[in-house]
Structure formats: C-alpha cells, structure tokens
Structure 1
C-alpha cells in the first residue's frame, strides 16, 4: 500500500519539530500526521486513552506554534479549548514547529499501543449485514480483552473496532455491521482476503478489574464484540464471581453469537444470560423491548456490581442514565460507544 498521512514514508520531508516544554524531549511529525502517533513512534509516550478524540485525556497546551485539528467534530473538543490553547494530540497535526506542555510522559502499562500491518484472512457472515473479520498481524498482539483497535481504512478514514478474541496471538477478530452510505463501513466490507490495512492497538479503558464484585456485561448490537472478549476471559480463568450478561438487538437474526454466549455462560459457575429483542418471534422467551428493560428489573439485586457496557451511543447513554438513577458508583462503570 502507498504511504498515508498516518504512516508517512519520509517524515523528514515537510515535517515539523515538536518540543515538550520543561524537558529535553523532541520529536518529528510528518505532514498530516497526528501528534500523538508521531510521539509514540519516536518512543515518547504522551498521555492518552481513547485515541479517537472522545475522552480528552491527550489534551496538551500549545505554548508555541500553529496546528490543524483533523477531526473538528471530536466529542472532547470544547469551546474553551481555543481560549486556553488546548489541543487534542490524537486529532491534531502541526502547521509549524511546536512547543507543547503536557502533564506527564511515560509508557502506559494498560495500553502498550503499537502499529501493525493487518492482512484480512476471512470474513464470516453472522447475521444481516453483520460479519466477523479475522486479520493476521505482522507481530503478536498485546492488549487486554475489552480493548479496541483503530483501523485505517483509507486516507483519513479511521474507525474503531473492539477485539473479540484473546490477546497474545498473531490474529485479531472484529465484529462489525454494514451501514449503507457510511464510508468506513463500506471500506471495511469491501475488503477482500489478502488486503492489508494499518492497525493501531490497543486503546480504551475497558478491561476486567480484579476483585469480588459481581460483574454485569451489557451489549447492544455489535457492541457484543468486547463483551464476548470479556466473557471469554472470565471463562478461561474459571472466574467464580457472579456474572450477568445482557444482550439486546432488533430481531433474533440480529442477535448474533447467541450460541457462543450460551456456551460461555454455561461454562461459568455463577453466570446468567439475558436477551432483549424489539421485534421477537412468538417463540422468544426473553425480554421484549430494549436491553435497558431487561437490565432495569434486575438492577436491585446487582447493587455494587462492576458494569461493562458497549454498543451504539444511544444505547450506551441510556444504560448510563439507568445506572445513575440506581446510584451505581461511577468508578464501577466501564464502557465504549462507537457509532
């Protein structure tokens, strides 16, 4: 593949220098390259979490220089950022040499993020416009189940996909849905076996925390991907904590990997699976409605539980609202929302 702004073949051509105020650290950023990625590839670890412009963890103060924001609609961008000269290093590229002030530097044990070249091996049909994509990486993966990758599907076309399988292999799997008319979805679904794409992983803050609290895993749509990964980890380690899995979709056809969920739940000593469908068949025995309807009636017995949730923004926001209404501690809630 030809080089792109994310992976410049010659960062010295038209590149800019970035200095970190109060340190002797400097690195070079290629044309159109994101500051955070360039720093990481130079061995300098700036603060970050999501890599996507949602959390704001990577914000730095622009002491000197000019920059361009590559993703103006990034959720973490606030009006006061411009006044305070605060920038998202994960979504910003230099237009001149820069001086930045950051809160800290150093490797992050939870996110040993690195660049991979990923070759598509196969794509399995799971349901209507839903596929499981399996890629082979150029090196062994390092991540915690529940985290996600950023896949570059074209020039400036970056999308997040959670890993479904275990870490420590040279393959990764993602579950994704086709959305007609959306550039990222179209690009992913038109890949053929043998096609290769740049992948960065891992990102995110969702992984199993140790302890004795009950565990609640809630998924909507293809948010099932990280929930499957977490459930597999629980099964592989024979975790004895009480586990409740909630999974919602429109129809039974959309409720993909249901058999896998049932098998994993059956292998745990204290786990239950709850399904919710908006348009069920007459034989459906689970909740009729949203995944929040299934969760709501069981929350009183799940006080103090550790919650992990993933799915479309509307679904995740609805679950977060429900948990706040039931006074779930914020530090007991871990989530990802893409859409």
Structure 2
C-alpha cells in the first residue's frame, strides 16, 4: 500500500479531537456556529484557488508540456494567478466583515465583567439596573437563548478570553476594556481557556462556562448573590476556625463572615463550582487539600503561598470547610 493511500487512515485517530466541550467544530452557540460557517466557506474558497492554480500547473507541465502561445500564457497568469485569487479573497473578506459585527452585538440585559488575574479569572455579574455586582471567580454562567455582553480587561499582562464552543476569542489588556458578546443555544458545561501566552501558568488558566435555561440562571444568580451557608459538621466547623486563624480572609472573601479579602478569588460558594484552581482540578476535599498544600507545584508562580506546614487534621478540616461552601 502506498503512503498516500494510507494517509486518510492515519488521520482517523485525530477525529475524536474534533468534538467535545472545547472544540470549535462542536458548536453550542450562535456565534460559534457563525465562525464555523465562516471557516468552511473560507476553506471552500481556498480549495477553489488551490484547484485552479495547481490545475493550470498540471495542464501546462504534465498534460500539455509544450511551448505555448505567449498571449495564452499571459491570460492564464493574469486570470488564474491574479484575478481569480483576488476575486475569491475579496468576496470572502467582504462576507466575513459583514458577519463579524454580530460578535459584538449588545447583550439582552446581563453584563459579565471578567478580569484576567495571575493566573485566574475574577468574574462580576451585572444584571440590568444593578448597583453592585454579584461576585464570583473562575467560572462563567450564562442564560441560554439570550445574548450576554462581556466587559473584559486585565490586571497586569495581556490575556485572551475564549470559549471555543460558544464563540470567538477577545484579548484583554491592562488599562483598557474590550467588549464581546455570546449567545449560547444549548445547555451544558463548556471549557474556556486563556488563548494568549501570559506567563508560567498560562496553560493552567482555564475556566468552566455553564449555560442553563434563563429561569435556572435567575435562581442560580439569586443564590450566588447571597451569603455563604456555613457547612455543618464538626470537621467543617474546625475548618472555619483554621480559615480564620491562618488569615485566609485577608486575601479571600466569604460573604456572611468576617473574611472580606479582595486579593484572591471570592470563595463564598467555591464548593459549588465545577473546577478548582481555574480549571485544573475537580472540586473534592482531597483536591482542596492538595491545592492548599502544594499551590506553587500545581500552578507555578501563582501568587497564593502554599500552606505546607499545616497539620494533617487541620488541612483536612480546612478543605472540608471550603468544599462545603455552596
């Protein structure tokens, strides 16, 4: 079997990568579908140009390898090598520019402010008419069937906000605000990622995006705006004491308690999120303990120090407390 005949079979193992919750080819939003359509149309235009140019080379070099009339040669070069690519590319450009403004259309009331930090995401929800935001971190929740506007900026370096299954990406700059919007069509949990190299833990700066029916989102947002419900149980209660004794409240906020820190992520409902450490761990007691004990090992150059001197019982109690904040 020749190499070329085996090539399609060699590509088969890569096909599963075309689907999933972080695939641009497995769309769950209006904007992502528009971008995917744009990709296929531009790919078709590329094929037209490729076939035309290489077709002429095939004809004149292999099928008719003789000296040709100079006038014919000029027509082929100008028509097939210049005019055809120019017309096709210009048409694709005009069409692409006509659909791109939809990616920046105003939202239907909800505005989500996202700030890129080192290396995590600060998330503020601004419902229409709200005087203060609902604060969260490292996760986005969106009402399905509605367009949500995103207000994006960064703390220190350039980041890029991207949820491939829902839409395009948008860079985030220190001292400057950029805007985009997303219109999810399907309910689900989709993975987002920083798409701009931003430092040692760039690859570990992810987030989950949860889309849900509007009524479910409204109920979630009301709960998210409320204070933390203290976890029950002796171990969790001991964990709350450890949280206070270790000064965690100087960096983290837990609404309804004395912890009002603004340096790190808000932990009011951290146990209800779909991931820990900005998308790198599942939220379990064991992973909370590992994160607290080995923070810098799990996410290099993160600003949070590791509390590797905590006794084992206190570490477990603190992790149990955090996991119970829902």
Structure with more strand by fraction: 1
Shared fold (TM-score, shorter chain, > 0.5): no
TM-score normalised by the shorter chain: which range applies? under 0.3
**TM-score (normalizing by structure 1):** 0.25
Structure 1 or 2, whichever has the larger Rg, is: 2
